[in-house]
Amino acid sequence: MKTLFFAVLAGLLAFTAFITATQPKVELKGRTPIFWSTDLNPLRTEQVGLFNRLHPKILLDVDPNNGNREKVIVQSQAGVGPDVFDFWGEANFDAFIQSGTALDLTDALKARGINFEKEVWPLALAWTVKKGRVYAIPANVGTDAVWFHKDLFDKQGVPYPKDSWTLADFIETAKKMTIRDEKGRVMQYGALIEVDRFYNEWLASFGGDLWSEDGTECLIDSPESIACLQAGYDFLYTYKVSPTPADESSIAASGGWGGTAGSMAYFRRKVGAMSPGGRWWLAQLRDDIKLKGYQLGAVTPPVAKFAKFSSGGTRAVMVNAFSPNRKEAIEFAIYLMEEPYNTLLNDQADALSGVKSAAYTERYLKNPLDPGADFHLAFRKTLEMGVQLRSTPFLPRSEFELYLNRQIDLVKLNMKKPADALRDAKREIMEALHRNVTRDAELQAEYDRRIAARRTS
Amino acid sequence: MSLASTVKPSVASKRSRHRRSLGELWIAILFLLPNLTGFVVFTAGPVVISLINSFTDKSLLTQQTHWVGFRNYADLAADPLFWIFLVNTVYMFIGLPFAMAGSLFLATLLHQKIKGSTIFRTLLYLPSFTAGVATMILWKQLFNPDYGLINSALSTLGVPREQLPQWLNSTKNLLAIDPERLAFNPSQWGIGARDALVLMGIWGAIGGGNMLLYLAALSNVPEELNEAAQLDGASGWQSFRNVTWPQLAPTTFFIVIMSLIGGFQGGFDQAKVMTNGGPANTTTTLAFHIYQKGFEQFQVGYASAVSWALFAIVFAVTIVNWKFGNREDLVS
């Protein structure tokens, strides 16, 4: 029996040795390999290639399969995380800092003479800087402008929308561009509005915000906030110029409830004449321009009350504090602030460059890949209107969204009035906030301090 | 031969046998060690750690962890969402009797001695070895209210467009449960996302493992019992009802228990792939809630408490089943 056991063991060891010996070897040639956890966007190939050409001592490769927050944090703490990784959104930004995964890049940037807060878009600062320290570099900055099909407008004899238009203009244009058949069924939607996105993007334009300045009170039941959600609802159910959730799901290529896949798919199929959408849509729309002869335009978002737009943010990159190759990873972070990368990014239309100056060039406006196009300017102008909605340190963003989205779902389904939904969401959010602060003595103390300061003031 | 001479070899042989069996034990342990290590590290260890975590405020976002006693359990009991998600989970059991009946029906058909039965068995077992995500995406297309095959078929049968189910886009349900609170709401009666998932679950379960279990059980029913019943003049149904069905009781009991356990732990894949827990959280089950708390909000302590609450519920349901369902007259 013993002989059998050791024979099996020896066999397994020999097999392992054989497999290890026959593994294909990466030719490093003295280069330090680093991994960038990012999405599977084909544009990354060129971005990585450029970095590797500019940094002959480092070999950057993409890891597209481990981009989720939970994976990055858990893998990093286990010592097998990526060297640099992408993230999107405030909830992730806070999570990576709190978990100690994000490396403080402030000193490295200063050492290279980079004045970070001056050079990047203000919209990107909320997800890159915390308490004066830089934890992330914007790989790109995105915002939604309003795309439209010029030929559909020509067909209806409706003039093209212009920058600085109002929400009332938008609604009127959407009504004119909505085409119904003899049975009243919509054949072409005027505007592809998704209620939840509309609420988040136009809230600042209505003069609303999510939280009070001190983060102690949720403001989603304010008259401005209710008016904003009501306006989003009206596109679907009052004016009937936008698809309902049932229509949305009809064209969603993948994923779950809602999402952005719907709008772009509808827009590409000309089922909608106008749609809020990002510059990154060009990755697909360029094919339509080239192969189907699409004529596209883009304008800044219509203004409700204030010329502010709370859409967008940054796909930012952090350096993993647990990485053994931090020095090389920092080189990559610096690369994201440099001219070659930002020019390439703008050419590719992978949203907009994180560095402002790269979008104020002739090359940006007259992109060699889009001859004759006049839509690039609208995205830069929209970024100039960009503001970040306030958040709170007293409740995780994901939990806030759980309650808010649940109520907005009911509005989308026409089951609840916007005012009632937002009031209920606020009540649930404040209850959750109180539960959350009682869990943490430090958080509770800070909350009490701010409440006291509020009463005094 | 003296007594001493007979005893001595016996003791010696006992010792020798003991030594040999000890040696074999070590060898056995060596063989088991890889599996045992995996079990301790990846199953038993995490289970114990999660129990400890459930009494702490452990979060992946902070380095400090504090002992909080039963506070996580008190919090979840006070959280209305927990109860709504529990109801969502239990709702999925609506499909259980239909799935079991379907499995039994298929097994009975496949038990007949007909040509090509192996092919039929393979075909009917297909849903079980087809990748879950692929089938879910397929079902998502089938449930499409405008272009899906199901609503197209219903339209062809004359169901008016405005009465077609909205499937994954609707909070309606067959028990008219309000989506916001645990209450009956007649306006919510209808077919919605929960029912869509139940329907998909029935499809997956009918031809799966339950069918194979019933098939195995059917082949163990002694032929002579049925023959005797038929000689006594029993019809096919009477023979099935009074002879076959009681013989299947242990299998049915096993299937019920396993389905309930699986059901309580289920719903994650469907929520993640098809609905993201919506609309309005109506397809968020406890398993998906644990994921959201643990891996989206990183409240590991709280998520562990939900896991153990779920374990307690499953344990209690199993005990009740065992006590009242495992009757001697049914099983023996």
Strand order in the sheet with A84-88: A58-63, A32-37, A84-88, A313-319, A137-142
Least confident piece of the model among A85-94, A302-311, B275-284: A85-94
pLDDT at A262: 67
Parallel/antiparallel/unpaired status of strands A129-130 and A179-180:
unpaired
Inter-chain contact A95–B61, Cβ cutoff 8 Å?
A: yes
Tell me the pLDDT band of A257, cut-offs 50, 70 and 90.
Answer: very low
**Which residues in chain A are contacts of B60 at CB distance < 8 A?**
70, 73-74, 77, 95, 99
d(CA A38, CA A86) in angstroms, rounded, equals 5
CA A112 from chain centre, in angstroms, equals: 28
Q: Which of A186-190, B184-188, B305-309, B323-327 has the largest mean confidence?
A: B305-309
Residue with tokens 């013993």: A2
Question: What would the mean pLDDT of A439-445 be, rounded to a whole number?
Answer: 86
pLDDT at B332: 43
Least confident piece of the model among A94-103, A352-361, B211-220, B323-332: B323-332
Say whether pLDDT at B176 is over 50.
yes
More confident of the two residues B24 and B72: B72
Parallel/antiparallel/unpaired status of strands A186-191 and A179-180:
antiparallel
pLDDT at A446: 94
Q: Phi and psi at residue A204, in whole multiples of 5°?
A: -65, -35
Residue with tokens 């034990």: B25
Inter-chain contact B279–A2, Cβ cutoff 8 Å?
A: no
d(CA A405, CA B155) in angstroms, rounded, equals 32
pLDDT at A400: 92
CA B17 from chain centre, in angstroms, equals: 46
pLDDT at A247: 66
pLDDT at B252: 92
**ipTM metric:** 0.70
pLDDT at A331: 97
Inter-chain contact A398–B61, Cβ cutoff 8 Å?
A: no
CA angle A294, A299, A301 (to 5 degrees): 130
Identify the CA nearest to A51 among candidates A24, A32, A64.
Answer: A32
Which of B21, B32, B66, B169 is the best mutation test for A, with the most CBs of A within 10 A?
Answer: B169
pLDDT digits (tens, 9 = 90+) for B32-63: 999 999 999 999 999 999 999 999 988 877 76
Q: Count Cβ atoms below 10 Å from residue A422 Cβ, excluding itself.
A: 27
pLDDT at A260: 43
Identify the CA nearest to A86 among candidates A113, A62, A50, A117.
Answer: A62
To the nearest 10 degrees (0 to 180), the angle between helices A167-177 and A223-237 is: 10
**Which residues in chain A are contacts of B62 at CB distance < 8 A?**
98-99
pLDDT at A253: 37
d(CA A118, CA A134) in angstroms, rounded, equals 12
Query: Which residue does chain B place closest to A249, by CA atoms?
Result: B144
Which domains are seen in chain B, by residue range? 79-331 (1.10.3720.10)
Can you read off the two tokens belonging to residue A84? 């640099």
CA A224 from chain centre, in angstroms, equals: 24
CA A397 from chain centre, in angstroms, equals: 14
Say whether pLDDT at B3 is over 70.
no
Question: What would the mean pLDDT of A178-193 be, rounded to a whole number?
Answer: 89
pLDDT at A239: 95
CA angle B202, B267, B273 (to 5 degrees): 100
pLDDT at B1: 47
d(CA A257, CA A275) in angstroms, rounded, equals 19
Say whether pLDDT at B192 is over 70.
yes
Percent of chain A with pLDDT over 70: 96
pLDDT at A261: 52
Residue with tokens 């405005």: B162
Angstrom CA distances, A3 to A8, B23, B32, stand at 9, 13, 16
Angstrom CA distances, B5 to A313, A452, B117, stand at 93, 96, 67
Question: What would the mean pLDDT of A121-135 be, rounded to a whole number?
Answer: 92
Strand partners, A120: A355
d(CA A307, CA A331) in angstroms, rounded, equals 38
Can you read off the two tokens belonging to residue A90? 């405030």
Chain B residues at the A interface, defined by Cβ less than 8 Å, are 23-24, 27, 30-31, 57, 60-63, 68, 71, 75, 78-79, 137, 144-147, 166, 168-171, 179-180, 272-281, 292, 295-298
d(CA B278, CA B171) in angstroms, rounded, equals 8
Look up the pTM and report it: 0.79
- Reduced to 3 states, what is the DSSP secondary structure of residue B247? helix
**Which residues in chain B are contacts of A73 at CB distance < 8 A?**
60, 298
Say whether pLDDT at B7 is over 90.
no
pLDDT digits (tens, 9 = 90+) for A389-440: 998 989 988 889 989 999 999 999 898 999 999 999 999 999 999 988 988 8
pLDDT at B5: 52
pLDDT at A396: 84
Identify the CA nearest to A359 among candidates A329, A326, A382.
Answer: A382
Secondary structure letter of residue A389 according to DSSP: P
More confident of the two residues A393 and A90: A393
pLDDT at B20: 80
Q: Side-chain half-sphere of A356: how many Cα atoms within 13 Å?
A: 16
The overall average pLDDT reported for chain B is: 87
pLDDT at A83: 96
d(CA A51, CA A44) in angstroms, rounded, equals 11
Q: Which of A194-198, A317-321, B216-220 has the largest mean confidence?
A: A317-321
**DSSP string of A157-212, one letter each residue:** TPPPP-TT-BHHHHHHHHHHH-EE-TTS-EEEEEE---HHHHHHHHTTTTT--SB-
Question: What would the mean pLDDT of A190-211 be, rounded to a whole number?
Answer: 95
End-to-end CA distance of chain A: 83
Question: Of A254, A396, A440, which is closest to B137 when you measure between CB atoms?
Answer: A254
Question: Of A99, A398, A435, which is closest to B296 when you measure between CB atoms?
Answer: A398
Strand partners, A309: A386
CA angle A77, A78, A81 (to 5 degrees): 75
Task: Give the list of residues 6+ apart from residue A293 with CB closer than 8 angstroms, or none.
Answer: none
Tell me the pLDDT band of A99, cut-offs 50, 70 and 90.
Answer: confident
Amino acid (1-letter code) at residue A50: L
Inter-chain contact B144–A250, Cβ cutoff 8 Å?
A: yes
Inter-chain contact A406–B280, Cβ cutoff 8 Å?
A: yes
pLDDT at B9: 60
Tell me the pLDDT band of B127, cut-offs 50, 70 and 90.
Answer: confident
Tell me the pLDDT band of A147, cut-offs 50, 70 and 90.
Answer: very high
Q: Phi and psi at residue B267, in whole multiples of 5°?
A: 95, -10
Which domains are seen in chain A, by residue range? 32-142+312-359 (3.40.190.10), 144-311+388-394 (3.40.190.10)
Asked whether the CA dihedral B26, B32, B37, B39 is positive or negative, the reply is: negative
Say whether pLDDT at A269 is over 50.
yes
Three-class DSSP labels, A324-369: CCHHHHHHHHHHCCCHHHHHHHHHHCCCECCEHHHHCCHHHHCCCC
d(CA A402, CA B296) in angstroms, rounded, equals 11
Question: Of B31, B146, B296, which is closest to A5 when you measure between CB atoms?
Answer: B31
Say whether pLDDT at A258 is over 50.
no
Query: Which residue does chain A place closest to B67, by CA atoms?
Result: A439
Three-class DSSP labels, B145-189: CCCCHHHHHHHHCCCCHHHCCCHHHCCCECCCECCCCCCECHHHE
